[in-house]
Every structure is written in C-alpha cells, then in structure tokens.
Amino acid sequence: MIDTKTLTQLGAHVEPPQSPETAVLETVPFQRGDGPPAIVRFTCPEFTSLCPVTGQPDFAHIVIDYAPDAALVESKSLKLFMTSFRNHGAFHEDCTVMIGRRIVAATKPLWLRIGGYWYPRGGIPIDVFWQTGASPEGAWLPDTGVAPYRGRG
C-alpha cells in the first residue's frame, strides 16, 4: 500500500491556487517493473487561461502523455494546478510549455509530451506541442485523439 501521509491535497478540502506558480504538484511512488515503460495520459478538454493582453478567456484541449520512472503526478494536485490557469494571463505557447515543464520537474519522468489544442481567437487556432526528447523504445504511444481543427468536436 502506498503511504499517502505526505500528500496535502488528496482527501482534503483545498482552495484552488491563485496562480500556477503557487500551485503544488504532488507525487506518489511508482514501481516501473520490467519491459517497456507504461504511458500515462491526462486529458483536459476544458482548459482555460486568460489572454495576457485583453484578459479574455482562452480555451484549449490539453493532452499530456508521460512515461513515469519512480513517481506519478497525483491527479488531484494536477487538477488544481490546471485550474490555477483560469486566473493566469499568458500566451498559448507559454501555458502549454509551462505545464509540461512543471510536471517534468515534479516527477522526473523517462519522457513526456504535451499537446495544447487551442480554440480560435481572431479566427486562428494555435496548436502547441512540446516533449522532452525521443519517445521510449518499445512504449505504445496512442494518437492524441484530437482532430485537426474543423470546429473541434
């Protein structure tokens, strides 16, 4: 059984962080085992941040795939982290890469990729992709499941 005594958010009432910088990403131990690495996917189809210029909301479908090594990101802390962007003004590219880098810093995975599929503002959708390097040998990497923009549905 995993010791959860060090987790401060899981099972507790926690106010959403006011910014991504103050959000805490917690981890739990992971035993990788033999064979190809597992790929863990988080999908956030209703991600929201703010335009840093106008303050208007921006919306995205975020897909995060990672191959954990010794730690998993705890999902409640990830949800709170993602929610913290609702008050955060940053460009699409900055938000997408910041999410990926924070997860890498917290979990030190074998590999991570993130896709930010941003809905149009001014008539142009912006898709942002970032990864830590080549995908792990032998790992099954499914398609992200997000179609190129055609009304995203």
What tens digit of pLDDT does each residue of 43-99 get? 999 999 999 999 999 999 999 999 999 999 999 999 999 999 999 999 999 999 999
Residue type (1 letter), 71: A
Contact residues for 60 (Cβ-Cβ < 8 A; gap 6+): 44, 47, 48, 49, 92, 95, 96, 116, 117, 118, 119
At 2 the pLDDT is 63
Residue type (1 letter), 32: R
Where does residue 146 rank: exposed (0-12), middle (13-18), buried (19+ CB within 10 A)?
middle
Architecture of the structural domain at 28-131: 2-Layer Sandwich (3.30)
What tens digit of pLDDT does each residue of 1-57 get? 566 667 766 767 788 888 999 999 999 999 999 999 999 999 999 999 999 999 999
Q: How far from each other are the two terminal CA atoms of the chain, in whole angstroms?
A: 40
Give me the residue spans of the domains in the chain.
28-131
List binding-site positions for substrate. Answer: 73-75, 92-93
The catalytic residue positions are 51, 58
